[in-house]
Amino acid sequence: MTRPGECTQLHPLAPFGWDARVEAGFARAGIDVDRDVAGRVVRVDRGSCLVATALGVVRASPYGVGSRLAGLDEAPATGDWIALSPRQAGEVGPAPWDVTAIVARRSAVSRKEAEDRVTAEQVLVANVDLLGMVTALDRPVVPNRIERMLAAAWESRAEPVLLLTKADAAEDAAEALRVTESVAGGVAVVVTSTRTGQGIDRLRTMIEPARTLALIGPSGAGKSSLVNALAGRGVQSTGAVRDDDHRGRHTTTSRDLIVLESGGVLIDTPGLRALALWDAEAGVEATFTDIEDLAARCRFADCAHRAEPGCTVREAAASGAIEPRRLASYLKLQDELSELAARQEEQARRPTGRRSRKLVRPTSSRDDRR
> Which band of pLDDT confidence, cut at 50, 70 and 90, is reported for residue 46?
confident
What's the pLDDT score for residue 118?
59
What is the pLDDT, as a whole number, of residue 319? 96
- Indicate whether 92 and 185 sit together in one domain: no
Shared-domain flag, residues 325 and 340: yes
Q: 166 and 261 in one domain?
A: yes
Instruction: Give per-residue pLDDT as tens, 303-339.
Output: 999 999 999 999 999 999 999 999 999 999 999 999 9
pLDDT in tens, 175-210: 999 999 999 999 999 999 999 999 999 999 999 999
Distance CA 96, CA 59 (A): 7
pLDDT at 109: 94
The pLDDT, as a whole number, for residue 291 is: 97
The mean pLDDT value of the chain amounts to 85
Specify if 81 maps to a domain.
Answer: yes
Determine, yes or no, domain membership for 215. yes
Residue 208 is assigned to a structural domain of this protein? yes
40: domain CATH number?
Answer: 2.40.50.140
Domain extent, residue 60, equals 14-102
Q: 281 lies in a domain?
A: no
CA distance 40 to 26: 12
pLDDT for position 351 = 67
Q: Among 102, 120, 147, identify where a domain stops.
A: 102
Q: Is residue 7 part of a domain?
A: no
Asked if the model's pLDDT at residue 362 lies above 80, the reply is: no
Q: Which of 102, 127, 153 is the last residue of a domain?
A: 102
Q: How far is CA 59 from CA 44, 93, 94, 122, 300, in A?
A: 10, 11, 8, 21, 56
Same domain assignment for residues 128 and 149: yes
CATH number at residue 342: 1.10.40.50
* Residue 83 · residue 22 · CB < 8 Å: no
Contacts of 182 (CB under 8 A, 6+ apart): 143
How long, in residues, is the chain? 370
pLDDT digits (tens, 9 = 90+) for 74-121: 999 999 999 999 987 767 766 899 999 999 999 999 998 866 555 788
Residues 142 and 68 in one domain: no
Q: Are residues 95 and 149 in the same domain?
A: no
Give me the mean pLDDT over the 253-264 stretch.
80
Its sign, for the CA torsion 58, 95, 61, 49, is positive
Give the Cα separation of 230 and 130 in Å (integer). 14
CB 198, CB 169: distance < 8 Å: no
Q: Do residues 85 and 121 share a domain?
A: no
Q: How far apart (Å, rounded) are the C-alpha atoms in residues 138 and 194?
A: 13
Does residue 25 share a domain with residue 150? no
Q: Is 295 a member of any domain? A: yes
- CATH code of the domain containing 122: 3.40.50.300
For residue 283, is it within any domain?
Answer: no
Q: What is the count of structural domains for the chain?
A: 3
Task: Assess whether pLDDT exceeds 70 at residue 356.
Answer: no
Residues 174 and 119 in one domain: yes
Q: Which of 39, 67, 102 is a domain's end point?
A: 102
Does 183 share its domain with 241? yes
Whether 136 and 241 map to the same domain: the answer is yes
What per-residue confidence (pLDDT) applies to 235?
56
Name the band, by pLDDT with cuts 50, 70 and 90, for residue 370.
very low
Instruction: Clarify whether residues 31 and 124 are in a common domain.
Output: no
113 found inside a domain: yes
